[in-house]
A and B are shown apart, each in its own frame.
Chain A
């Protein structure tokens, strides 16, 4: 943790209302029904805080999920927003459809490692390939909590299940995949790292395109024991922070008495005018270069590190709704006068066919 980060933001008590005049309450959801200590609950709390602090209008948010423990969690935050708990592994398509219908909506997808990397791998990949504008959080615990702890596709080789069985299949690294497949914002974090997760999530909310956040989020019931590589202890022991991250929202002045050494801070302007400031803990790292990112992710895997931070950012590629050149008005709000072409158009076609 860089002291600079701490210096800039003295922790102030959260104000009673945010920049759009809402208190914290509209950002909360129902009481969680997940296990006490579940990493997913911490992520839900970060979502509540970040949306509140960013002053996002919750009525303009859609929260979508698939099936699994993680996918239940949208009930536990942003109670004012429209939510859609869809089918297992296929939330990306539903989210894609929703943003096609209304490109102004902010789509928040919450999924798990089974939902994303096992059953949902196909849709996950194609969502990224299209650069669908969405913040897609993988609450990654390496197992199926809802069906009593079977391994998912992100479980590490040799990681031991509660039953004592060791995983024999190599994992899919969702972040490496995301970088390769065209996601334009890729980060890994840890549900137990409140500060980093908050910063990363806020930056993702300022990005337009597919933002993938793989958040290691231990399952206290089925995967938090000795031998698991997704336990709280294991993650704390093996977590390596790629960089120290600071985020300056577009509605705040940058008021830093910069004590970083020249050349050690990389500023990444985001789509909404916010700025992501990455203090380089590793000299060579260029987060806009996907080859560097892949290289470093692979190195981390070889070293048994859990590499956290902003792994990759690309603010140049247009999002899917931009590519489709959609009308300024959301498609869902266009009226009959523009949805149904005039009679002359049909007459024209009938003449051609007769």
Chain B
């Protein structure tokens, strides 16, 4: 037995071949550990490929609640002959390796704990149908691992039944396979590595959810009425989840009719076009896409910005440019989304870091869009959208839908028809609009992407043009008022400061802890959650000499947006960038800070 146990603090790396059906087995492990009260996350590191290329699934368990990616692997489950050798060679000493016996990995190194398992021999008796064995053998490693690290079998069983809740036969088959794996391990293996789990109480009131599903729920409870989309990784599951929830909760029980429309368009240009048309005609409309779709939507987003049409665009960012790494995460669309389209344009961004924020910000985005009469972007990324996160439960929205400045028939009558679509009545740059179908004879106006005067008449006059552009600029500058505030965790003893957005958050949070524990360096932290940045962001940067802007792209796009908005204090900004496509991990940040600060 090991000298020092490592309890509830390790990462499991499952190496399989894409298309081998290991996702269920991994989700079952994740769920069983979650039910034991251990903070966990599950990240799928998969190739852009149907079948055959290597894929890894990592499960991180951490009793302190740090569930960002951990770069180092503690337990490797090596099921893929293609990568097994390389996977083993890259491990740190002391790791545990469960591997398929025929791969004969045991002789590769002396400093690891090897557990050869004859998966085929264990699987065959419990799975009489040969073609199912490829799938079922994955559940066998669940059983082996359960024995090895003390996952409670009751929880494993419940997780299996939950995973196969609609297929009782499959549930029984897989449970038998898990038990077979567990029994084989108990009879044949001797535990030598230090890693194990122990029931704790870290998940009270928590859920396991992907950001895409969270965002989909946000749309549903934010009152979305039209969703248009085109399939693209990593955003497809968002639209699909939204449609499923809409069908469940937004069909009128009496009439059986839908209070929503979901349309899979022919491409991203059509999806944004439909969303703009729907927003113009009074729907709460949105589209969901990723970087390549954002590029295609450019012209329509410029039109919506200039003609002042509300629409929500959800960008689940993946690694670009071009097709790039379609199944890898990135924060590479900040700049392009913020200024999408030609001419002088800018669009508010909401940047969630957690599933709970995906829910809240997506719901809020419709209010912001209708309030500002503008396209609004919600910036997820693949890591947040497609991976499983332990999250706080979502709170039911306690605010009313904001439908913005819309004039009704009665109001136009009261104005005796004297209104203008682009007049700045309130001095906030936000004009009033009417919705098509308004029956007042003076309600109609002409929407165009060409120059117009305050009454929406065609105009090429330079004073009309400049006045209109200045008004829109003022409106967009004030848009920060409608966006989520930055969250600041300041410390008077902080030697350095961090600034980050989105999924960099988990890594920064953990890095701060590492810096304090390992280097005795206290840090301050500002997490921006929207662009334009809130005033508190500026004050934070001003207070700190060195603010490390952490982000997941090559060119420092977040820092660039900060520099634009706060030119006077831009010399306070330092940059830490990672753009390798994996979810950002804390060690990468800590090492970079240690080097830059000469710690």
Contacts and interface: CB of A to CB of B under 8 A. Distances in A.
B156 interface: no
A1 B208 CA distance: 72
A341 B282 CA distance: 19
B269 A90 contact: yes
Contact of A338 (B252, B261, B396, B447): B252
B273 A340 contact: no
A350 B394 contact: yes
Interface in A78-96: 79-87, 90, 92-96
B130 interface: no
Contacts of A59: 437-441, 443-444
A90 B260 CA distance: 23
A74 B208 CA distance: 52
A93 B444 contact: no
B387 to A, nearest CB: 14
A284 interface: no
B249 A332 contact: no
Interface residues of A, number: 58
A328 B261 CA distance: 13
A62 interface: yes
Interface in B355-385: none
B245 to A, nearest CB: 7
A85 B283 contact: no
A331 B259 CA distance: 6
Contacts of A340: 221-223, 397, 401
A343 B396 contact: yes
Interface string B293-337: 000000110010000000000000000000000000000000000
A339 interface: yes
Contact of A96 (B260, B277, B397, B400): B277
B396 A97 contact: no
Given A59-B444, A93-B265, A101-B226, A87 B299 contact: yes
Nearest to A339: B223
B447 A353 contact: no
B276 interface: yes
Nearest to B409: A59
B270 A93 contact: yes
B273 A97 contact: yes
A102 B282 contact: yes
B281 interface: yes
B343 interface: no
A82 B260 CA distance: 23
Contacts of B281: 62, 97-102, 105, 332
Interface residues of chain A: helix, strand, loop or mixed (majority) = helix
Contacts of A346: 217, 221, 394, 396
B279 interface: yes
Contacts of A102: 281-283, 435-437
Contact of B300 (A26, A62, A87, A92): A87
B270 to A, nearest CB: 4
A82 B279 CA distance: 14
B278 A83 contact: no
Contacts of B46: none
A60 interface: yes
B346 interface: no
A135 to B, nearest CB: 16
Interface string A292-327: 000000000000000000000000000000001111
List 3 tightest A-B contacts by C-beta distance, closest first. Answer: A97-B277, A93-B273, A332-B282
Given A86-B449, A101-B281, A325-B257, 16 more contacts: A59-B444, A82-B436, A82-B446, A83-B445, A85-B448, A90-B300, A92-B273, A101-B277, A126-B265, A324-B258, A327-B258, A328-B255, A336-B223, A336-B400, A354-B205, A354-B393
19 contacts: A59-B440, A94-B274, A94-B280, A97-B228, A97-B274, A97-B280, A100-B274, A101-B282, A324-B258, A325-B258, A332-B282, A332-B437, A336-B223, A338-B250, A339-B250, A340-B221, A346-B221, A349-B217, A354-B207
Interface of A: 26, 57-60, 62, 64, 74-75, 79-87, 90, 92-102, 104-105, 122-123, 126, 324-328, 330-334, 336, 338-341, 343, 345-347, 349-350, 353-354
